[in-house]
């Protein structure tokens, strides 16, 4: 594709008609005929690698204003916001997207909402996909991703591939990192949702206000004009979010509370999950949701709101809630102890998420509620004691263990958690901690293994070691069963 087309005729020069055959922000991936985006990151400045990219055959360079390129044979495009420009270039380069795209932002619930929305659409015969923390899921396609929101070149390449495969509806997660770094720019998002906001990513964002502002960029800048945004009415930030959404020219639809547009009137625990009484713009429905936890009811209603905002029929969309399947690693029941105690794996690695999952399972506990969790190294240290305090308050038995230590001393991370739950048991090795918790279960107990969810690796130092909570817990169950024979 001609460079002049990719930059929409901006900054024409004698190289504007050069043919661009690929895009990359990593100089090591550059091939002859590529456009190299020299982006400034949190750790490295891409401008330092312009020479390397040119040596590898870059035909053009995208850089910030003021960056100079010491090569007269390479086209140079400069921009005040090169990340935004790269996303727009990627959108033009790949050129194809699913016709309907919905995005979900918020601290918790994004993975569940996009998965539920994909399921609702699929039940109506639509060819639907989802993209986010658990990867890309589409008919005939399951692909893992390195980040919840990949870089814009990867995002737009995947969108084009999905469109080529006939996918016409896509639900995607919009992380604060992805929004702040312009990874979703250029996507034709027609409807979106805000689930909630609690402490997270303060190792990246300066404070909660900056964290919220990054998420609001979805509504202010990324969405198509005149869209619909589904907003959780129970959020402390509802009024702030609604103000931003309306100012951006979008419609606000509230959900999750008794007076909401999509209202949760009443809930009752049932054998298969929970029975919900809901109201959708004034029409009442009784729904048997096959998932436990109040937050899953909220996630389901959020997905319902997005389905309706995208044009799906109301009655069919409501009926689809009765067939929803849980997301891997999200309050996933992975086995039962010989005593009858249930074991769940959940991705909760933030204070709000741990609070929600422990409260969700409490109604199903007649004995003791056990939790195994840790906190990641090289991440927000301020949440560690808070999560310890939540475990002390909501669980009956707590084991503090390692999560992803990364470059930190695991023992120090555990000490900071234990400050909030000094009576907890400390077992550094995560597998040993899970085995100990499983062995201690009695009739009426419930165990929640929190923090890693669907992940299949543990980051220790600069290595990713094979590790999956689910398989370790199931191995512990097998050992208990064998010992009881």
Tens-digit pLDDT profile for residues 127-178: 999 999 889 999 999 998 877 778 999 999 999 999 999 999 999 999 988 9
Whole-angstrom Cα distance, residue 282 to residue 370? 41
- The CATH number covering residue 37 comes to 3.40.1390.10
Same domain, 264 and 137: yes
Same domain, 162 and 203: yes
What are the distances in angstroms from CA 410 to CA 345, 375, 466, 467, 478? 22, 9, 18, 16, 28
Q: Which of 38, 58, 92 is the last residue of a domain?
A: 92
* This prediction's pTM: 0.84
DSSP SS3 for 447: strand
Whole-angstrom Cα distance, residue 428 to residue 329? 21
- Residues with Cβ within 8 Å of residue 115, at least 6 apart in sequence: 130, 134, 137, 171, 327
Per residue, what are the HEC states of 38-101? CCECCCCEHHHHHHHHHHCCCCEEEEECCCCCCCCCCEEEEECCHHHHHHHHHHHHHCCCCCEE
> Is there a contact between 205 and 197 (Cβ–Cβ < 8 Å)?
no
Domain count, the chain: 3
Same domain, 88 and 101: no
Same domain, 308 and 355: no
Whole-angstrom Cα distance, residue 353 to residue 109? 9
Tens-digit pLDDT profile for residues 166-211: 999 999 999 988 999 999 999 999 999 999 987 555 555 567 889 8
Q: Which of 69, 92, 115 is the last residue of a domain?
A: 92
Which residue did the predictor score with more confidence, 149 or 305? Answer: 305
Whole-angstrom Cα distance, residue 474 to residue 470? 6
Same domain, 69 and 115: no
Same domain, 297 and 350: no
Whole-angstrom Cα distance, residue 249 to residue 242? 11
- The CATH number covering residue 417 comes to 3.90.190.20
Q: How many residues does the chain have?
A: 485
What's residue 222's pLDDT?
A: 95
DSSP SS3 for 312: coil
- The CATH number covering residue 181 comes to 3.40.1190.10
Closest CA relative to residue 172, chosen from 103, 112, 229: 103
Residue 241: which domain range?
Answer: 96-323
Residue 473 — pLDDT band, cuts 50, 70, 90?
Answer: very high
Same domain, 342 and 304: no
Tens-digit pLDDT profile for residues 113-128: 999 999 999 999 999 9
Whole-angstrom Cα distance, residue 191 to residue 100? 9
Paired strand residues for 466: 457
Q: Which of 92, 123, 149 is the last residue of a domain?
A: 92
Can you read off the two tokens belonging to residue 174?
A: 């919009």
DSSP letters along 182-195, please? TTTTT--EEEEEE-
Can you read off the two tokens belonging to residue 364?
A: 């199903």
Same domain, 167 and 273: yes
Same domain, 12 and 88: yes
Same domain, 83 and 8: yes
Same domain, 308 and 425: no
Residue with tokens 């991370």: 413
Same domain, 353 and 235: no
Residue with tokens 């035909």: 59
Whole-angstrom Cα distance, residue 221 to residue 216? 8
- State mean pLDDT over 239-258: 97
Tens-digit pLDDT profile for residues 363-415: 889 999 999 999 999 988 999 999 999 999 999 999 999 999 999 999 999 99
């Amino acid at each position: 594709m001609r460079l002049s087309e990719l930059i929409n005729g901006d900054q024409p020069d004698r190289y504007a008609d050069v043919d661009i055959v690929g895009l990359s922000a990593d100089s090591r991936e550059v091939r002859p005929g590529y456009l190299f985006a020299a982006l400034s990151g949190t750790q490295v400045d891409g401008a330092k690698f312009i020479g390397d990219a040119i040596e590898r055959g870059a035909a053009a360079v995208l850089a910030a204003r003021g960056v100079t390129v010491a090569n007269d044979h390479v086209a140079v495009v400069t921009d005040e916001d090169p990340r935004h420009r790269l996303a727009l270039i990627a959108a033009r380069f790949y050129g194809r997207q699913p016709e309907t795209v919905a995005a979900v932002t918020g601290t918790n619930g994004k993975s569940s909402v996009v998965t539920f929305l994909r399921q609702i659409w699929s039940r109506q015969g639509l060819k639907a996909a989802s993209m986010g923390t658990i990867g890309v899921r589409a008919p005939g396609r399951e692909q893992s991703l390195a980040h919840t929101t990949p870089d814009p070149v990867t995002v737009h390449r995947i969108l084009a591939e999905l469109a080529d495969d006939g996918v016409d509806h896509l639900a995607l997660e919009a992380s604060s990192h992805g929004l702040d770094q312009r990874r979703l720019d250029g996507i034709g998002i027609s409807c979106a949702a805000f689930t909630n906001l609690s402490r997270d990513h303060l190792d990246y964002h300066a404070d909660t206000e900056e964290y919220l502002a990054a998420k609001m960029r979805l509504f202010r800048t990324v969405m198509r004009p005149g869209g619909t945004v589904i907003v959780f009415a129970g959020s402390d930030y509802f009024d702030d979010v609604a103000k931003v959404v309306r100012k951006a020219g979008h419609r606000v639809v509230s959900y999750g509370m008794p007076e909401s547009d999509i209202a949760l009137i009443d809930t009752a625990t049932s054998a298969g999950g929970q029975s919900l009484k809901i109201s959708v713009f004034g029409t009442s429905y009784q729904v048997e949701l096959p998932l436990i936890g109040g937050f899953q009811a909220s996630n389901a209603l959020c997905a319902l709101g997005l389905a309706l905002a995208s044009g799906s029929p109301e009655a069919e969309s409501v009926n689809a809630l009765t067939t929803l399947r849980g997301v891997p690693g999200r309050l996933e029941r992975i086995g039962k102890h010989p005593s009858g105690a249930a074991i769940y794996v959940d991705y909760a690695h933030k204070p709000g998420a741990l609070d929600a999952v422990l409260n969700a399972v409490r109604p199903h506990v007649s004995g003791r509620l056990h939790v195994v969790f840790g906190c990641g190294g090289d991440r927000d240290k301020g949440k560690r004691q808070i999560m310890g305090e939540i475990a002390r308050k909501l669980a009956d038995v707590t084991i503090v263990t390692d999560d992803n230590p990364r470059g930190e001393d695991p023992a120090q991370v555990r000490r900071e958690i234990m400050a909030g739950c000094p009576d907890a048991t400390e077992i550094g090795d995560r597998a040993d901690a899970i085995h100990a918790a499983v062995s201690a279960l009695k009739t009426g107990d419930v165990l929640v293994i929190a923090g890693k969810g669907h992940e299949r690796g543990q980051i220790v130092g600069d290595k990713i070691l094979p590790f999956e909570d689910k398989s370790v817990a199931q191995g512990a169950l097998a050992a208990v069963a064998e010992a009881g024979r």
